[in-house]
Structure 1
Amino acid sequence: MVKAQVTTTELHSPNGVFSQATTVAATGRFVFVSGMTARRPDGSIAGVGDIQEQTRQVCENISAAVRAAGGTLADVCRMDVYVRNMEDFAKIHEIRAQYFVEPLPASTMVEVSKLAHPDYLIEINAIAVIAPTGGDSMRGVEWT
């Protein structure tokens, strides 16, 4: 997969860890990652009341899902971010910068009044495109 950021002077530069647009030239698999929350593998919620810790757990959860499909966070091309408080924007992007490097995925962030659990402060879904490999196996994927 070849992923590239699209940048144009006709648009304002992004003020966070995302691109204006992302192009993908790929022969491979699309991976649609459901909305990930700060839920740990044991079912507990990470960072109750702490947006940065919740963002970190969400990024780890996205990474785990993409890895299970045979990719990495570098394969993520698109993210939709739902937050309870838009004033957390800078704190969220501080953590995202630790997980995502250029070429950055395209992204949208919106503030919502509620998420699926009252302790959730953030939820992110993602789309990745994973280039085929020799065996093109999907480690850990269970078909249902």
Structure 2
Amino acid sequence: MPKTQVSTTELHSPNGVFSQATTIEATGRLVFVSGMTARRPDGSIAGVGDITEQTRQVCANVAAAVEAAGGTLADVCRVDVYVRNMEDFAKIHAVRAQFFAPPLPASTMVEVSKLAHPDYLIEINAIAVIA
């Protein structure tokens, strides 16, 4: 069940680690990963005040959830990213590049005024399709 990254010259090239669109044959299991934060398995928060470390923990948490469902990050077709400061875009994508490889998932990133805990700087939810 190959995932395909869609690109068209009718749209501007993405400026981060994501595709304009992603296609996949929907003959697998859909996995909907809830918003993952920088919580470690012991409940502590990784990287308080450090967007790079929090993004690393969030991506690791997304990976753990997808792996628990029987897949890998390569199965992720879409992510939604909520950040406290859009100025962290480049730092976030530098970390995402360490976790996601082409074909890249489709993505939306928005800045929000608050997340569920005042120490959270980022939250990511995901959709994966596992064969």
* TM-score tier after normalising by the smaller chain length: over 0.9
Paired amino acid for 1:58: V
Paired amino acid for 2:15: N
In structure 2, the partner of 1:17 is 17
In structure 1, the partner of 2:91 is 91
In structure 1, the partner of 2:40 is 40
Cα distance between partner residues in 2 of 1:127 and 1:70:
13
- Could you tell me the TM-score, scaled by structure 1's length? 0.90
Contact 1:2 1:26 in 2 (8 A): no
Structure with higher helix content: 2
The two structures, once aligned, show a CA RMSD in angstroms of 0.4
TM superposition shift of 1:27 = 1.5
Cα distance between partner residues in 1 of 2:2 and 2:106:
15
TM superposition shift of 1:70 = 0.2
Count of equivalent residues: 131
In structure 2, the partner of 1:63 is 63
TM superposition shift of 1:49 = 0.2
Paired amino acid for 2:69: A
TM superposition shift of 1:13 = 0.2
Cα distance between partner residues in 2 of 1:52 and 1:128:
24
Which has the higher Rg, Structure 1 or Structure 2? Answer: 1
Gaps of 5+ in 2: none
Paired amino acid for 1:71: G
Deviation string 1:8-47 (CA, Å, 9 cap, x unpaired) is 0000000000000000113110000000000000000000
Displaced runs of 4 or more, over 3 A: none
Cα distance between partner residues in 1 of 2:77 and 2:59:
14
